[in-house]
Amino acid sequence: MKSDAMRLIANRIGVGLLTLLAVSVVVFAITSLLPGDAAQAMLGQESTPELLAALRARFGLDQPGYVRYARWLGGMLLGDPGHALANGLPVAQLIGARLPNSLMLAAATTAVSVPLALIVGVTSAMFRGSLYDRVVNMATVWVVSVPEFLIATVAVLVFAVKLHWLAALSRPDDIATLGQFIRVYAMPVLTLCCVIVAQMARMTRAAVIDQLTSSYIEMARLKGVRPVRMVLTHALPNAVGPIANAVALSLSYLIGGVIIVESIFNYPGIASLMVDSVTVRDMPVVQACAMLFCAGYLVLLTAADLAAILSNPRLRK
């Protein structure tokens, strides 16, 4: 690998770390500016100025913002995001109990969406201009423009209320068979896949078409190479970089879409934990969950950049 590629990779990773540091400042500042705090939420209508002051002093909420930020950032760097204000449990323990559920949802969505999007995108590019290509284009544009909460609501009405095929709530606690797994994850995965598949298929189609219009493809066509072989052995390998970029960027949508999906289906993941914590102003949990989502988003974007760098033959050799 050339030194230019190594320098670019190191630059991307350094930019990602600096961006995450800047994000930590923004997350802490925004959560600190929210009205009310955990002490006020816990005392409710029975609060008095004395009780509020005592509880805020106990939680450290009476200290200056920069002191609380430095203490919080130090804990995050050491892997200790503190304790939840609502129940006193370690934040890491609360997140650890929900993280496997969110990872399972993300893994199921990725396993369904990536192969489906690649097949739709590549075949649409192969039959560019055909009826199939026009239908795919119209369908992907329509799906991308529909918000995921509407897709989730329609899915609940159709599959849970009308047909009684699936449960309206997705609880992964009692899964013992493949049928139960499908019943729990079908609607959340369907909701997330709709937009992801549409976005990824459109970007994959554009990447393959860009290769099909290249001069070396025209040369292969003049030599009589069959269309399927031309796409699979000539165009597709050279489009791996843009396609990997499209996959990473599309999967970053999971970070935002999962918040809506977990809330609608009452799925016990990280996003629903963060939403519940916002209602009681439990800022250590909210801040840790927000940083986890931001870190995941930055990792996917950095992976997309690295895939683009590594797929460049001038930098790879």
| Confidence (pLDDT) at 132 | 92
User: Do the beta carbons of residue 116 and residue 195 sit within 8 Å?
Assistant: no
User: Do the beta carbons of residue 17 and residue 10 sit within 8 Å?
Assistant: no
| Confidence (pLDDT) at 36 | 65
pLDDT tens, N- to C-terminus, the chain (317 residues): 567 777 878 888 888 889 989 999 998 888 877 766 666 666 666 667 777 777 777 777 778 888 888 888 888 888 888 888 777 788 889 889 888 888 888 889 989 998 999 999 989 988 888 899 999 999 988 888 888 888 888 888 898 888 888 888 888 777 778 888 888 888 889 888 888 898 889 888 888 888 888 888 888 888 877 877 888 787 877 787 778 877 877 777 777 777 888 888 888 888 888 888 887 778 888 889 888 888 888 888 888 777 777 776 665 55
User: Do the beta carbons of residue 269 and residue 107 sit within 8 Å?
Assistant: no
CA-based nearest residue to 266, from 181, 128, 177, 167: 167
| Confidence (pLDDT) at 43 | 66
For the entire predicted model, the pTM comes to 0.80
In the DSSP assignment, the letter for residue 32 is: H
Alpha-carbon distance of 96 to 234, in angstroms, equals 45
Alpha-carbon distance of 232 to 240, in angstroms, equals 11
Tokens encoding 138: 């119209």
CA-based nearest residue to 257, from 160, 150, 166, 149: 149
